[in-house]
Structure 1
């Protein structure tokens, strides 16, 4: 597996305002960290590979993967206007965007892509088995699908009412769905956190990890792992899968924006 040290993207020439659903690179909340971290976690898998980015949205994730060494990336989204913009802003050799409806056949040749990324998408459709079968059809033998969705049982989910979500899945339901279409899979979890990080002498997160979480005034519990996960991320294939590059995304710009918002609200 390639060790990706750096990846960058020039600021797009045209800004898109945040509507509340589609993530854009200009927002300064934990939402961007969550979306961006999913793309960063697959960069080591896409080196030299043909990649399909399902529900690519604004296009920054597909562009990051191409910049990280993917041999080609195709982004697909249902919004014709956003696809025209993505081709205008990011499109170049071996990086293109096309309009497509994930509720229908993708109109793509079978076994075409080495890697498929599908982040925060499956909860937007009801015919989920048919969609998974279509992803399996266009994935090349030995290829990898990386797919994520919010956990339907996440804390506070009962108080959320996202009009864009057709069918949210629990982690067990998500695993069962993927397992019906792929012989091998590996689960990872994600949530937004804010706090201190302690690393080993080489700067890496040590195998003997602690995950301290506050649950009262100077009351903390060492859970030894990520608890109360918000998102489930599965790597799936017809062969044993490579582990994702899990870890921490630290974004000082987002944290500074959160502090500014809190200070303004307090005042």
Structure 2
């Protein structure tokens, strides 16, 4: 396989996802093959899964050497570092777009094409959003719905953003965004990583759109959410608010979004 791939890349972090990884890669390949006639890459970033996820990923890469790659890391270091490691590989290979998605099939791989279309159509970052018209969640109880919505509301109000689903992890970036937002200085490790990247994107003047999706609870494997990860998010969000961080406005970035643009949910941080 060529070391340079100027095509869209999908990064999927895994830890103990042996029950899901083959199916999520298969469905993603089907979608991306139709959406990306010039090719694509799927990068599985496995954090030393003891359940054999990494070995399954290696078999998938051997079976599809022009489409699937695996990055092995020795041990779990958090969602954010896993994504950052995958982003680095994709950007070094010349990725045109970088997508991210959970490995547990909570995100429908068929929606990858819609996210990619949104960025190709003029967005800089497309978010798969549960909390805009047409989006939603299934298989969740009331308490989990309240916690999820409350977390997004807390981050949105604290950071002064209009993005409604700040905690979601289903995204498509124009590669120029990731090059502009100073990834080596990203501070978050857990799910707060999603908030921080979207906040940096908006602060840099890029256009963010929310694409409605339906989020489905995993049916196999176990959730990686815990109270330590939740605590990080509570602490990090106000720290971002106090931060003076701001990347230089990148070439092609949009300094503001018209208030009457119903498809756009971003505004520079206040």
Task: Please state which band the TM-score falls in when normalised by the shorter chain.
Answer: 0.3 to 0.5
TM-score by length of 2: 0.33
The structure that has the greater radius of gyration is 1
Normalised by the length of structure 1, the TM-score is 0.33
- Identify the structure with the greater strand proportion: 1
